[in-house]
Amino acid sequence: MAAETGEKTEPATPRRRNEARSKGQVARSHDLSVAVLLLVGLLAMDWLGPGLWRSLLSVMQSSLTAASEVRIDAASLVAITPAWEVARRLAPLLVLLFLAILATLLVQVGPLLTWQPLTPSLGKLNPLSGAKRLFSIRSLMQTALNCGKLVVVSVAGYVTMAGSMAAIVFAFSLGLDDVLGLGWSLTLRLGVALAVLLLVLALLDYAWQRYRFEKDLRMTKEEVKDELRSMEGDPAIKRRRRQLQLQMAMKRLRKEVPKADVVVTNPTHVAVAIQYDGQSMAAPKVVAKGADEIALKIRHIASEFGVPIVERRALARALYDAVEVGQSIPERFYRAIAEILAYVYELTGRSPAVA
């Protein structure tokens, strides 16, 4: 019934997944990147903050001291502002944030570089398509989830700050350093609590995005069949290719089988044509072999050209499995082949020295 209605019931094939990935269609949660950036940023500021604050304060003092000794104009402002020094001191924090974002993307998506999402498309400018996306069930669901996140985060922020209201009320009695310390402590506590909560919500959102992505990639049975046909090729072309290969094989057989001294069979499934010239060969070699239809053709050609056919079931199968066309037979087959050739030479009156 699903096949008749075109329902997407089949998992996506590797080819479908690769095509989607090349277009930048991957399962990814934007909230996860934001949550990780917020959490890592706060923890990094708590770790690097005091030293960074002292370093930037020192740079500012040096800049102001230098500014008091020179005439202020556009050129001197560049000279007295040590931008490189500020950048150097901020570098550890910026690098840490960059690595956090990079690690988050790699965990979600893996290595991926594509410009396809940036390719201009007129379909994206179509007002009707935009309206459909705006008022779709998926869009409404996403809006509801975002509202839910806002409510949860607001409640968590209120609960976190409620326990510190007394300290906030009596902050006017504290010194400047204590007020700054209290402010940073409250900011850190609130920020980490919100970041952890956002991280949990983002993980749930990522699970939802992966589920939706897998569902969107699913294929109908007919799409899977069409893809297999496109990968394997048109059946008519495959038949024609097999026919050409068979014709070429037949030409080789008609050229090589008449040169053989004997054809060893099994008796109908396998045929191996063996040639031996005592003047030019160190050992007999296989000039043709085949199974089923090819074996039948080898026997017909051998009968047509008067090449003796000897039935040796075990030997024919062993030669077929162990020796490729054009190769000399292994030493373990010497005795059996010698007996067959001796029988053939006695029967035909030929000599192994005769080409």
Is 297 a residue whose pLDDT tops 80? yes
Q: What angle do CA 32, 38, 39 make, to 5 degrees?
A: 90
Q: How far apart are CA 325 and CA 283, in angstroms?
A: 14
Phi, psi dihedral angles at 319 (to 5 degrees): -65, -40
Distance of CA 137 to the CA centre of its chain: 31
Q: How far apart are CA 355 and CA 150, in angstroms?
A: 94
Question: How confident is the model at residue 136, as a pLDDT?
Answer: 66
Name the pLDDT band for 227 (thresholds 50, 70, 90).
Answer: confident
Per residue in 130-147, pLDDT (tens digit) is: 556 666 666 777 777 778
Question: How confident is the model at residue 126, as a pLDDT?
Answer: 58
Name the pLDDT band for 191 (thresholds 50, 70, 90).
Answer: confident
Q: DSSP letters of 8-73?
A: --BPPPHHHHHHHHHTT-----HHHHHHHHHHHHHHHHHHHHHHHHHHHHHHHHHHHHHHTTS--S
Comparison of pLDDT for 223 and 252, the residue scoring more: 252
Is 2 a residue whose pLDDT tops 50? no
State percent of the chain over pLDDT 70.
69
Q: Report the pLDDT averaged over residues 74-91.
A: 60
- Asked if residues 101 and 115 have their Cβ atoms less than 8 Å apart, the reply is no
Name the pLDDT band for 3 (thresholds 50, 70, 90).
Answer: very low
Name the pLDDT band for 222 (thresholds 50, 70, 90).
Answer: confident
Q: How far apart are CA 91 and CA 55, in angstroms?
A: 12
Summary mean pLDDT of the chain: 75
Most confident of 69-78, 145-154, 311-320: 311-320
Name the pLDDT band for 283 (thresholds 50, 70, 90).
Answer: confident
| CATH fit for domain 249-348, picks 2.60.40.420, 1.20.120.10, 3.40.1690.10, 1.10.3720.10 | 3.40.1690.10
Question: How confident is the model at residue 62, as a pLDDT?
Answer: 66
Q: How far apart are CA 291 and CA 319, in angstroms?
A: 12
CB count within 10 Å of CB 100 equals 19
Cα within 13 Å of Cα(330), Cβ side: 9
Is 245 a residue whose pLDDT tops 80? no
Q: How far apart are CA 1 and CA 9, in angstroms?
A: 11
Q: Report the pLDDT averaged over residues 177-201.
A: 78
Is 244 a residue whose pLDDT tops 70? yes
Comparison of pLDDT for 115 and 171, the residue scoring more: 171
Per residue in 193-213, pLDDT (tens digit) is: 888 888 888 888 888 888 887
Q: Report the pLDDT averaged over residues 101-115.
A: 77
Parse the chain into domains and list their residue ranges. 12-112+125-228, 249-348
Q: How far apart are CA 197 and CA 205, in angstroms?
A: 12
Q: How far apart are CA 353 and CA 341, in angstroms?
A: 12
Q: Report the pLDDT averaged over residues 173-183.
A: 68
Is 70 a residue whose pLDDT tops 60? no
Name the pLDDT band for 188 (thresholds 50, 70, 90).
Answer: confident
| pTM summary value | 0.51
Name the pLDDT band for 266 (thresholds 50, 70, 90).
Answer: confident
Amino acid letter, residue 62: S
State percent of the chain over pLDDT 90.
0
